[in-house]
RNA sequence: GGGCCUGUAGCUCAGUGGUAGAGCAUCGGCCUUUUAAGCCGUUGGCCGCGGGUUCGAGCCCCGCCGGGCCCA
């Protein structure tokens, strides 16, 4: 932005002046710190000698002395600098300070007249000159001038968001800790973390539209993976009985408050366990992660009344718009999908046993039916509309229709249904698990049915993967598997209401065609 | 794709048809314990872009481009 140039130019001039004074901040490589800001404040000891470094958040110059608040990211502490203490050169350098610069100080702790724990600076060293103004929030007469409120700018320039907004910083740090706690949970249980190809000839394991790119060397179209499933099961076929992967998957679809085109998926597979055991693992994982990251299994979240649709008002009238406490220390609710539909969508089990009657029922409850060409699709729509929004507390919904579950074992009691569950929290899907098909004949039939759907125009139908079938034919043990959206999980555990709040760099529309990020003030 | 809201100084925002504003930030002064300090002065705008209505548009109308929320 051209408007920035003058501000930036001023700072460049200050940098030049610093160099004239014999101090080029960019030549410094290291600075020894003895304490963090938090340590100094918590374990305050008058007169204690310390060394500290951080970013300047505020700056008040008063003739021959001055104050600055310096933050190490987690906390900040006030520094008091006097000309007669630090010497003429350092004082000149201090006068060239801007908010946003990094500085190092040594000195001793003291309490100011007004009672603030501070550092009395004896040596002052500029460590970095910030050339861009920092939109730090400011408070004046009770009015808060929030530094960085523009949502778009916050996501595009996340580093500014991390510097200026403590809440954002906490949420994102917690999200990273959640990922790492998930790893520890699975590692502790003897799972092996693996890595599988991101570029795939057949993007399977889910029903979604992939991104397409090219292998130059083979002159081949390849797709970015939409799930981790098929490769992980091939590893199970290779007799590694407990595996997981945490990685990015890519779906070429819409962007909204619960979808990002690329997101972090965890999938774990374990041989010889059934669906019920997978549920317990999910419960224990959420509990363990919540305890490890937050020291508590309870999360208080505001349930947005706008999220409520249809029947939610009937079920949780009293909870509408009120904060809800989710307890991941308790077992999740278990709910049969068909029963839930009968109860909450106003349709009967019998109606949902055939395509034609299901379509009529769907019309009756007021949903458009033009695009529905199979029973499973109708069931999923009803579920989405009438059941999902009511699942606020952690709930497993069990038993999904066969048409939309091409990788899950058939339910021995009902050939139209599968051994599959999804976990929901705050009306959002957080996990999806199957008793995995290990019958290669059944699996091939399912793929063939999916190909038929693809023929009839469903681009998201599951593709047929011969290599995967070949692996199944080698013999896969009975296996339970589960996929968990780590970003969604982080939303649930941090109480965030938008997926973007738990992604460091959410996908954004470029500001100009062909431009990925704005590089303001840069001279190319 | 539809509805509602939104785009004004570096940041946060006011400004409902009549000379573009405030706070903070910037810059220049004064100030050796301040509380995002204070005082004096200063700088800074294609009011998102393009058309239209009008004597006159930041404001009204149309289109486009961003962004947000909701719905599909």
> Residue A145, class by beta-carbon neighbours within 10 Å (0-12 exposed, 13-18 middle, 19+ buried)?
exposed
Mean pLDDT of chain A: 88
Residue that has been written with the tokens 């010889």 in this structure: A272
Q: Determine which of A132-146, A159-173, A498-512 has the lowest per-residue pLDDT on average.
A: A132-146
Q: Determine which of A137-141, A202-206, A461-465 has the lowest per-residue pLDDT on average.
A: A137-141
Q: Is the pLDDT score of A35 beyond 90?
A: yes
Q: Is the pLDDT score of A315 beyond 50?
A: no
Supply A21's token pair: 């004074």
The residue whose CA lies nearest the C1' of nucleotide B66 is: A511
Chain A residues 482-511, Cβ below 7 A from strand B: 498, 508-509, 511
DSSP-based three-state secondary structure for A47: coil
φ, ψ dihedrals at A309, nearest 5° = -135, 165
Alpha carbons A284 and A281: distance in angstroms, whole number: 5
Closest by CA to A352, choosing from A376, A329, A388, is: A376
More confident residue, A315 or A189: A189
pLDDT (mean) for A368-395: 87
pLDDT of residue A97: 93
pLDDT of residue A511: 63
Confidence of residue A373 (pLDDT cuts 50, 70, 90): confident
- Measured to protein CB atoms, the chain B nucleotides within 7 Å are 9-13, 23-27, 30-38, 43-46, 66-72
Q: Is the pLDDT score of A313 beyond 80?
A: no
The arrangement of strands across the sheet holding A220-224 comes to: A199-200, A220-224, A212-215
pLDDT (mean) for A465-493: 96
pTM for this predicted structure: 0.88
Confidence of residue A365 (pLDDT cuts 50, 70, 90): confident
pLDDT tens digits for A212-223?
A: 999 999 999 999
Confidence of residue A310 (pLDDT cuts 50, 70, 90): very low
Alpha carbons A185 and A350: distance in angstroms, whole number: 42
Q: Is the pLDDT score of A204 beyond 50?
A: yes
Alpha carbons A454 and A207: distance in angstroms, whole number: 11
Confidence of residue A168 (pLDDT cuts 50, 70, 90): confident
Alpha carbons A47 and A163: distance in angstroms, whole number: 30
Chain A residues 55-114, Cβ below 7 A from strand B: 57-65, 67, 69, 78, 80, 82-84, 98-99, 110, 112-114
pLDDT of residue A488: 92
Distance A255 CA to B49 C1' (A): 26
Distance A256 CA to B13 C1' (A): 28
A308: nt with nearest C1' to CA: B70
Chain A residues 217-276, Cβ below 7 A from strand B: 254, 256-257
Q: Determine which of A172-176, A313-317, A374-378 has the lowest per-residue pLDDT on average.
A: A313-317
Confidence of residue A316 (pLDDT cuts 50, 70, 90): very low
Distance A354 CA to B55 C1' (A): 73
Chain A residues 418-477, Cβ below 7 A from strand B: none
Q: What share of chain A in percent tops pLDDT 90?
A: 66
Enumerate the β-bridge partners of residue A268.
A244, A482
Q: Is the pLDDT score of A366 beyond 90?
A: no
pLDDT (mean) for A122-145: 78
Confidence of residue A140 (pLDDT cuts 50, 70, 90): low
Q: Is the pLDDT score of A433 beyond 80?
A: yes
Asked whether residue A4's C-beta has any atom of DNA/RNA strand B within 7 A, the reply is yes
């Amino acid at each position: 932005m051209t408007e920035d140039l003058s501000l930036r130019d001023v700072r460049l001039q200050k940098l030049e002046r610093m160099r004239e004074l014999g101090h080029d901040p960019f030549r410094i490589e290291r600075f020894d710190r003895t304490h963090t800001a938090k340590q100094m404040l918590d374990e305050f000891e008058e007169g204690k000698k310390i060394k500290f470094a951080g970013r300047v958040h505020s700056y008040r110059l008063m003739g021959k002395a001055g104050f600055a608040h310096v933050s190490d990211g987690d906390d900040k502490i006030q520094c008091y600098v006097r000309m007669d203490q630090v010497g003429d050169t350092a004082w000149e350098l201090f006068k060239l300070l801007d908010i946003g610069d990094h500085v190092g100080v040594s000195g001793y702790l003291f309490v100011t007249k007004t009672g603030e724990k501070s550092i009395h600076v004896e040596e002052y060293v500029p460590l970095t000159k910030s050339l861009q103004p920092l939109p730090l929030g400011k408070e004046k007469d009770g009015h808060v001038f929030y530094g960085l409120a523009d949502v778009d700018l916050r996501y595009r320039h996340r580093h500014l968001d991390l510097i200026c907004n403590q809440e954002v910083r906490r949420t994102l740090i917690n999200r990273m800790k959640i990922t790492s706690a998930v790893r520890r949970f699975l590692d502790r249980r003897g799972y092996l973390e693996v890595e599988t190809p991101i570029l795939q000839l057949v993007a399977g394991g889910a029903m979604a539209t992939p991104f397409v790119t090219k292998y130059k060397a083979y002159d081949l179209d390849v797709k970015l993976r939409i799930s981790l499933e098929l490769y992980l099961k091939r590893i199970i076929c290779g007799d590694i009985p407990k595996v997981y992967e945490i990685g990015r998957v890519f779906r070429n679809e819409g962007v909204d408050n619960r979808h990002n085109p690329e997101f972090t998926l965890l999938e774990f597979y374990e041989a010889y366990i059934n669906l019920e055991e997978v549920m317990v693992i999910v419960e224990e994982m959420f509990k363990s992660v919540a305890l490890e990251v937050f020291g508590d299994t309870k999360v208080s979240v505001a349930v947005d009344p706008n999220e409520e649709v249809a029947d939610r008002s009937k079920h949780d009238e009293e909870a509408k718009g009120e904060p809800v406490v989710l307890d991941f220390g308790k077992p999740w609710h278990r709910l049969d999908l068909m029963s839930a539909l009968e109860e909450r969508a106003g349709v009967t089990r019998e109606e949902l046993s055939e395509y034609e009657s299901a379509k009529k029922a769907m019309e009756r409850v007021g949903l458009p039916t033009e695009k529905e060409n199979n029973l499973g699709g109708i069931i999923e729509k009803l579920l989405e509309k009438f059941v999902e929004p009511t699942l606020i507390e952690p709930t497993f919904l069990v038993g999904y229709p066969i048409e939309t579950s091409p990788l899950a074992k058939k339910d021995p009691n009902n050939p139209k249904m599968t051994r599959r569950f999804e976990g929901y929290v705050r009306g959002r899907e957080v996990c999806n698990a199957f008793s995995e098909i290990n019958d290669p004949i059944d699996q091939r039939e399912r793929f063939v049915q999916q190909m038929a759907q693809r023929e009839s125009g469903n681009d998201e139908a599951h593709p047929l993967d011969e290599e995967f079938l070949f692996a199944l034919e080698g013999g896969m043990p009975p296996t339970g598997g589960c996929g968990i959206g780590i970003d969604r999980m982080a939303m649930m555990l941090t109480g965030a209401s938008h997926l973007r709040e738990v992604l460091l760099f959410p996908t954004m529309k470029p500001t100009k065609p062909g431009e990925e990020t704005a590089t303001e003030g840069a001279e190319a």
